[in-house]
Structure 1
Amino acid sequence: MTDQKEVAGFDGVSGDPPKDPSPNINSGPPKRPKRNKYALAISILASMTSVLLGYDSGVMSGAPIYIKKDLKISDVQIELLVGTLNIYSLIGSAVAGRTSDIMGRRKTIILASAIFFVGAILMGFATNYAFLMVGRFVEGIGVGYALMIAPVYAAEVAPASCRGFLTSFPEVFINLGVLLGYVSNYAFSRLPLKLGWRLMLGIGAVPCIFLAIGVLAMPESPRWLVLQGRLGDAKKVLDRTSDSLEEAQLRLADIKAAAGIPEDCNDDVVSVTKRSRGEGVWKELLLHPTPAVKHILIAGIGIHFFQQASGIDSVVMYSPRIYEKAGITNDSHKLLATIAVGVSKTLCILVATFLVDKHGRRVLLLISAGGLTVSMLLLATGLTVIDHFDDRHMMSVVAICIAMTLSSVGFFSIGMGPIAWVYSSEIFPLRLRAQGCSMGVAVNRFTSGVLLMTFISLYKAITIGGAFYLFTGIAATGWVFFYTLLPETQGRTLEEMEGLFGTFFKWRSTMRELKKKKQLEGTDDA
């Protein structure tokens, strides 16, 4: 089989950089390749579908204030309105894996935008609570599609040298969408009650139009094209999205091997097996997984579970209630304060985007989970003090609560937010990637939905401080999970990933053996 070392963009984690056939001893170390602008552009277009979820998350932090007043609904109905979208998205994410294997990644992105468009229009014209919930159902399916397909597409078109950078873009746009939702809340809050919240929700249909048009300029995923036997088309895409033509050839050879196509097959169109078209994937994932696939499944699902079980969506969606508990009672002031949450998330995710390929996934994950744990602990303590004590220095406690709200979303956004999507989209083998990622998204949305549908009831039962103490414990458990079970994937090709897994808690010894093997291969080449 073709040697799987990347031709460009390698560091000490994954192998030695290629040697110039006529080296110059004075030339110094090889330069990192420039970012592939074409791969960057199409990854941005694909990732923009995530704006849809972000906008909904942001806008639903403020719109329920006015929906409750207009439609005269209860807190339980608000919980259902806010949280059920994530439950409905389970349908979209579950179906999206199979849909993307049949229709292709590109058409699935267009479908996600169309479904979300219909949902936003229905909510914007809702006349009662039941009508509003129908719109949430449709929009939820579109969110499920978008969350599953965007990181998968970005991972499959990106060269290894900048895959983390490109596959973190969905989380960048989620955060941008959250910020836009917060701004929309504040901008439309001054309109008449019956019009304001409907514009907040309905305006989410506008980005869908531009997204659907933009996707028309995108190529299909080269890995999906290989699975369809369209080797000629795949080669054209790889030539444009790789750092060099030599790297494109190596990527094509690796993908062909993963799809069960002989290496020496150079036809433009070939027939492929049912297995490589997605048949029997669920059996291989759930019924008869190899140790490597079992480890990958635990890692892929676990990282999504802890991302949401840490309670971050409760901070984002219910930040006005948190600020109300902290002493900010004016609706406009609460909405203005939530914009600071959106700004904090957006700035921190941009930092993470530029660090993920330089410092790796694990370092950012551990810093993120540790910082989130401390921030949640201080937020819980501050809210408990406000709830139970008549403190003379209450304003300082309020300031701490606001600061820890911003700190929580900031720490989340430098690691757990983007890397859950990066990591899960790159670790599954090619034949299992679409369905494996859809399972991760399903767990992500289910966990988020359960928390959002129960948060108000939870904090009424155990106090708001008690709720955040619970999230603190979960975030700390997540840190232990990341440290013990998740190997570093920085710099590896997608086809190499399976070799990193299978030894569970002993993955470090596997990494050392692979590194030694790489060093021996480099010596042999020399």
Structure 2
Amino acid sequence: MAGGGFAATAGGTEFEAKITPIVIISCIMAATGGLMFGYDVGVSGGVTSMPDFLKKFFPVVHRKTQEGLDSNYCKYDNQGLQLFTSSLYLAGLTATFFASYTTRNLGRKPTMLIAGIFFIIGVVLNAGAQDLAMLIIGRILLGCGVGFANQAVPLFLSEIAPTRIRGGLNILFQLNVTIGILFANLVNYGTAKIKGGWGWRLSLGLAGIPALLLTVGSLLVVDTPNSLIERGRLEEGKAVLRRIRGTDNIEPEYLELVEASRIAKEVKHPFRNLLMRRNRPQLVIAVALQIFQQFTGINAIMFYAPVLFKSLGFGGDASLYSAVITGAVNVLSTIVSIYSVDKAGRRVLLLEAGVQMFISQTAIAVILGLKVKDHSENLDKGFAIMVVVLVCTYVAAFAWSWGPLGWLIPSETFPLETRSAGQSVTVCVNLVFTFVIAQAFLSMLCHFKYGIFLFFSGWVLIMSFFVLFLLPETKNIPIEEMTERVWKRHWYWKRFMDDDVKGEIGITSTDATKKGRSCFPIDINLNIGLDV
């Protein structure tokens, strides 16, 4: 399983790195955090379409679905039902700030362990819920797990992977998200048929499997060299670097990590440092990618796929079956991304997917506008198949682009001194807008009707122009060389780098270069002038 290879740095030195078994195993185990996240995303939509679940916790919605008096688009419009789904993301939003502290001060590995513990407790409460309060508290604990896992796992994957396959290994997190969604859809398809009204408990309880995998995996993996060195454990970090790279020739990479760590330690307030001028490109792109990722409309479809298809006139079994199909497409397309992201590059995948998503969403809106009436019983079979095909086309495009790359690009572009803080902001913004979409989607579906797909397609158009003009390519660039090789060469973002230090810490980048460094001299305190 080991293979040779090198990753060039800006200075012409080479970082030797083999693809070692320990790297592959560590990444697979860490990525199970994505499996848990994906299962939570997928299971809620199926459970909220189960009559027994609705009857116990949301009797008003159950009555509306049984009586059939409401519009097809409005029968699931209920704030309490939406809160069941969205409370997880609100809790994750809060937890990510605590996760930033643990990721920076305790390491990536303990943070993943904390996430696993939160997940397990949340699963127990959800599966045994006797009332709505118990159900929501369980979802909140799951959300805390999401906050910790989404903070630590992408950082872990980016830091432990050799440069030339960093994109592919990082996407293991997103691949596991899609597998989790598919697993949840399959479980819901089976449990919906269980008699006796307890099928939903099994659906929620089986989340314990990925929760246990993440917990056990976090105990078995090694922490990243970046994290160990950042916390002053230099020899241990060097030993781990030697193990994961499969070579004794690690000195160039080790010295670069030590230098990055030295700079990181001089930053006493990483969140304030994020606001400095030279960190603005990474911050803007990380925030924009998370907002855009949610406004593709993907979570609206994944959260509520069974409800959505049922609302559009599909029968109960057909709606769950359609959700399983879209889940399978999601997994397969994410595998496409793993193979292509480090070859084709990030920008090509995002731009191609933008065209594909825009066309498919617009076509869905046209079909629904012409063929789905407010109280029609079912969509014609031919048109129903066409809608599923178009949804799959859309999901495929998202799965090999905005899904994985929305996490990959921010995790690989922030410098070490702001990396955990930057990842916190990334997760925070993602969860804010995930919460907004989850809380608002069923109401939007009720009021916009088929126009909701036009709403999301308009956003796809905007984000594609953003990628075209403002997103630089980051494939095959060593993670500590992004400033020199990406930001300082970009037609727009380079203006934030030309005098990135002047006026803030009393030295120009030219002066730094003269001293033979790509970063900063040892005697500079980066905490000066952070009030920009």
Shorter-chain TM-score: what band? 0.7 to 0.9
Preserved contact between residue 8 and residue 18 of structure 1 (Cα < 8 Å): no
1:56 paired with 2:45, answer no
Partner of 1:522: none
Q: 1:508 to 1:382 in 2, by over 3 A?
A: farther
In the TM superposition, what is the alpha-carbon distance from 1:466 to its structure 2 partner? 0.8
Can you list the C-alpha shifts for 1:308-351, whole angstroms capped at 9, x where unaligned? Answer: 1111001111112332244312x222112211011000000011
Q: 1:9 to 1:441 in 2, by over 3 A?
A: same
Task: Determine the C-alpha separation between the residues in 2 that align with 1:323 and 1:281.
Answer: 45
Task: Determine the C-alpha separation between the residues in 2 that align with 1:443 and 1:339.
Answer: 29
1:115 paired with 2:118, answer yes
Q: 1:359 to 1:326 in 2, by over 3 A?
A: same
Preserved contact between residue 267 and residue 273 of structure 2 (Cα < 8 Å): no
Partner of 2:94: 91
Preserved contact between residue 90 and residue 446 of structure 1 (Cα < 8 Å): yes
* Equivalent position to 2:272, from 262, 283, 292: 283
Partner-residue secondary structure (3-state), 2:221: coil
TM-score (norm 1): 0.84
* Equivalent position to 1:444, from 420, 427, 430: 430
Q: Which runs of 5+ in 2 are unaligned?
A: 62-77, 498-532
In the TM superposition, what is the alpha-carbon distance from 1:279 to its structure 2 partner? 2.5
In the TM superposition, what is the alpha-carbon distance from 1:477 to its structure 2 partner? 0.8
Task: Determine the C-alpha separation between the residues in 2 that align with 1:139 and 1:393.
Answer: 36
Q: 1:359 to 1:15 in 2, by over 3 A?
A: farther
Task: Determine the C-alpha separation between the residues in 2 that align with 1:378 and 1:193.
Answer: 41
Q: 1:234 to 1:189 in 2, by over 3 A?
A: same
The one-letter code of the counterpart of 1:337 is: S
Partner of 2:331: 346
Where do 1:197-236 residues align within 5 Å?
197-236=200-239
Where do 1:405-444 residues align within 5 Å?
405-444=391-430
In the TM superposition, what is the alpha-carbon distance from 1:104 to its structure 2 partner? 1.0
Where do 1:252-263 residues align within 5 Å?
252-260=254-262
The one-letter code of the counterpart of 1:60 is: S
Task: Determine the C-alpha separation between the residues in 1 that align with 2:202 and 2:234.
Answer: 47
Partner of 1:375: 360
Partner-residue secondary structure (3-state), 1:489: coil
In the TM superposition, what is the alpha-carbon distance from 1:90 to its structure 2 partner? 0.2
Partner of 2:390: 404
Task: Determine the C-alpha separation between the residues in 1 that align with 2:462 and 2:196.
Answer: 43
Where do 1:115-154 residues align within 5 Å?
115-154=118-157
Partner of 2:194: 191
* Equivalent position to 2:482, from 494, 497, 502: 497
Partner of 2:253: 251
In the TM superposition, what is the alpha-carbon distance from 1:47 to its structure 2 partner? 0.9
Can you list the C-alpha shifts for 1:90-125, whole angstroms capped at 9, x where unaligned? Answer: 012222111111211101101000001111110111
Preserved contact between residue 104 and residue 420 of structure 2 (Cα < 8 Å): yes
In the TM superposition, what is the alpha-carbon distance from 1:8 to its structure 2 partner? 3.8
In the TM superposition, what is the alpha-carbon distance from 1:15 to its structure 2 partner? 9.0
Partner-residue secondary structure (3-state), 1:318: helix
* Equivalent position to 2:49, from 43, 51, 65: 65
Preserved contact between residue 113 and residue 212 of structure 1 (Cα < 8 Å): yes
- Comparing 376-385 and 442-451, the one that deviates more: 376-385
Extract structure 1 runs of 4+ deviating beyond 6 A.
13-19, 508-511
Preserved contact between residue 160 and residue 225 of structure 2 (Cα < 8 Å): yes
The one-letter code of the counterpart of 1:467 is: I
Partner of 2:521: none
Q: 1:42 to 1:377 in 2, by over 3 A?
A: same
The one-letter code of the counterpart of 1:338 is: A
Partner of 1:4: none
The one-letter code of the counterpart of 1:279 is: K
Preserved contact between residue 7 and residue 478 of structure 2 (Cα < 8 Å): no
Partner of 1:100: 103
Q: 1:107 to 1:379 in 2, by over 3 A?
A: same
Partner-residue secondary structure (3-state), 1:127: coil
The one-letter code of the counterpart of 2:35 is: V
The one-letter code of the counterpart of 2:319 is: K
Q: 1:249 to 1:199 in 2, by over 3 A?
A: same
Aligned length: 472
Q: 1:424 to 1:393 in 2, by over 3 A?
A: closer
Preserved contact between residue 294 and residue 502 of structure 1 (Cα < 8 Å): no
Partner of 1:311: 297
* Equivalent position to 2:84, from 78, 81, 84: 81
Q: Which runs of 5+ in 1 are unaligned?
A: 1-6, 20-31, 262-274, 512-526
Task: Determine the C-alpha separation between the residues in 2 that align with 1:179 and 1:278.
Answer: 42
Preserved contact between residue 281 and residue 493 of structure 2 (Cα < 8 Å): no
Partner-residue secondary structure (3-state), 1:49: helix
Task: Determine the C-alpha separation between the residues in 1 that align with 2:12 and 2:382.
Answer: 53
- Comparing 237-246 and 61-70, the one that deviates more: 237-246
Can you list the C-alpha shifts for 1:472-511, whole angstroms capped at 9, x where unaligned? Answer: 0011111111111111111111111123226775259999
Task: Determine the C-alpha separation between the residues in 2 that align with 1:240 and 1:277.
Answer: 28
The one-letter code of the counterpart of 2:187 is: S
The one-letter code of the counterpart of 1:353 is: I
Partner of 1:29: none
Partner of 1:524: none
Preserved contact between residue 113 and residue 215 of structure 2 (Cα < 8 Å): yes
Task: Determine the C-alpha separation between the residues in 1 that align with 2:10 and 2:459.
Answer: 32
In the TM superposition, what is the alpha-carbon distance from 1:73 to its structure 2 partner? 4.5
TM-score (norm 2): 0.83
In the TM superposition, what is the alpha-carbon distance from 1:34 to its structure 2 partner? 5.8
Can you list the C-alpha shifts for 1:269-304, whole angstroms capped at 9, x where unaligned? Answer: xxxxxx518631111113xx12x3101100111111
Task: Determine the C-alpha separation between the residues in 1 that align with 2:311 and 2:132.
Answer: 27
Preserved contact between residue 5 and residue 18 of structure 2 (Cα < 8 Å): no
Task: Determine the C-alpha separation between the residues in 2 that align with 1:245 and 1:370.
Answer: 46
Preserved contact between residue 14 and residue 491 of structure 1 (Cα < 8 Å): no
The one-letter code of the counterpart of 2:445 is: Y
In the TM superposition, what is the alpha-carbon distance from 1:399 to its structure 2 partner? 2.1
Preserved contact between residue 9 and residue 491 of structure 1 (Cα < 8 Å): no
Aligned residues: CA RMSD: 2.6
